[in-house]
Structure 1
Amino acid sequence: MSDAHAPLIRLRGITKTYGQGQAAFQALKGVDLDIEAGDFVAIMGPSGSGKSTAMNTLGCLDVPTSGDYLFRGIAVQKLTRDQRARLRRKCLGFVFQGFNLLARTSAQENVELPLLYRGEPAAARHTQARAALAAVGLAGWEHHTPAELSGGQQQRVAIARALVTNPEVLLADEPTGNLDSQRGREIMELLTRLNVEQNITVIMVTHEPDMAAYAKRIVRFVDGRVDSDQRSAPAAATREEVA
């Protein structure tokens, strides 16, 4: 039975080693991290700091070499590959720097993909995809292909695709990395709104301090360990107070 007061996500002593013998590389060296439901966490750090490995671990895309990963009290590292895949499909949504949209497929069809994999009937897929696109400000753009959309709009489609399954956690890996500063701010404001209004937990890897400033909390990785963990006033809230 899980502790009702436990955080949504708890990492304890997480290590990850790639390779063996003299070629072994330890990407994570004993990471402890708690993330509460409804939090917005930016993960930062230089190249090779372990932030991407930590994100892959949190997203159940990779398993730690040692340590404990609890998601709602479930020991993730003890799950089978199929059980981890079910956890991903049910609870996690992913947004990547490169959008990863199907080029010759409409925005609505791109958003429907996770529902197609779940075996949802067509009518339900259409309704949920349209609602997800509306939630990210793209009502009326359902039948446009990626080539007919701006970079910011493509990333909104990618976010809608991540949201269409109603995940508890949205994992965003450099979501503004391919966007100009204005489109980047728009995406961050969207993620902030989803976090505040829908209470979706957002975990974002970024190397951009101005994007990390939108988060409620900034966790910095250095050499495979958590170097600092600080709460901050999100940038969007600060701007509203000034206004």
Structure 2
Amino acid sequence: MSEPPLIELSGITKVFGRGAAAFQALKGVDLTIQRGDFVAVMGPSGSGKSTTMNILGCLDTPTSGVFRFRGIEVQSLDRDQRSLLRRRYLGFVFQGFNLLARTSALENVELPLLYRGERKAVRRDAAMKALDLVGLAPWADHTPAELSGGQQQRVAIARALVTGPDVLLADEPTGNLDTERSIEIMKLLADLNRDGITVLMVTHEYEMAEYAKTIVHFRDGLVESIEQGSRAGAGETA
């Protein structure tokens, strides 16, 4: 028996507000994402891409339709169950690095495990492994002010990886970086994807989206088109 898709959206709608003030952000989104894919989501402001990502991240719920994650209908879960799914299977990376300013890179990466109540030794070991994965183990004791923008985003990615998520959700991960640092981060995400992590990324930059295996274009609350990224695999080392 074949494994079900990692993520399935079927007829997903989302309405904000009521009555005359109601706004339909999603109008019946259908999307399937397989385990191990690297998906870039694009579209103009108001197209529905951010609303869809919030639903995929279990940060919001659809008004109607079916959202399956690993075969489980997520919209039928209660708030605590969705929170557990989010903590267990999802890692988040944001445009703003959201690092604690007076805290070392290692301690920033430890935070999700601290919230889980893990012992200090377990936290330290997992955080060092995550920093090593993004190439920043030598900078473990540095604070964000002592790191470049690209290094800060690597710390943020390590923090998202430290819990061992199935899916990495990245919201404009290169939005605050120059071109060189942006390419560095995209190659890192491509490397992580090749190591087995499913990556879902929102971006406005087509040249960054091309690093993904799949590019999904949103418009007016629907999936307008799907294409393949032309640079997929560009993170490979020579």
Counterpart contact for 2:186–2:235, Cα < 8 Å: no
Q: Write the mapping of 1:83-98 to structure 2, written as runs, cut at 5 A.
A: 83-98=81-96
Match of 1:80 in 2: 78
Counterpart contact for 2:188–2:235, Cα < 8 Å: no
Partner residue of 2:229 out of 229, 232, 236: 232
Deviation at 1:236, TM superposition (A): 4.2
Name the SS for the 1:97 alignment partner: coil
Report the RMSD for the aligned CA atoms in angstroms: 1.5
**How big is each residue's C-alpha offset from its partner over 1:145-176, in whole Å with a ceiling of 9 and x where there is no partner?**
11111100000000000000010000000000
Match of 1:204 in 2: 201
Match of 2:9 in 1: 11
Following TM superposition, the consecutive aligned residue runs of length 4 or more in structure 1 with deviations greater than 2 angstroms are: 231-240
Partners of 1:238 and 1:121 in 2: how far apart?
A: 35
Match of 1:57 in 2: 55
Deviation at 1:6, TM superposition (A): 1.6
Partners of 1:88 and 1:63 in 2: how far apart?
A: 13
Match of 2:213 in 1: 216
Equivalenced residues, count = 238
**How big is each residue's C-alpha offset from its partner over 1:71-107, in whole Å with a ceiling of 9 and x where there is no partner?**
0111100111110010010000000000111111110
Partner residue of 2:20 out of 7, 19, 22: 22
Identity of aligned residues (%): 70
Partner residue of 1:161 out of 150, 159, 173: 159
Partners of 2:150 and 2:234 in 1: how far apart?
A: 22
Structure 2: any 5+ residue segments left out of the alignment?
none
Counterpart contact for 2:209–2:229, Cα < 8 Å: no
Name the SS for the 1:109 alignment partner: helix
Return closer, same or farther for 1:146/1:239 CA change in 2, 3 Å cut-off: closer
Match of 2:118 in 1: 120
| TM-score normalized with structure 2 length | 0.97
Counterpart contact for 2:94–2:173, Cα < 8 Å: yes
Structure 1: any 5+ residue segments left out of the alignment?
none
Counterpart contact for 2:13–2:29, Cα < 8 Å: yes
| TM-score normalized with structure 1 length | 0.95
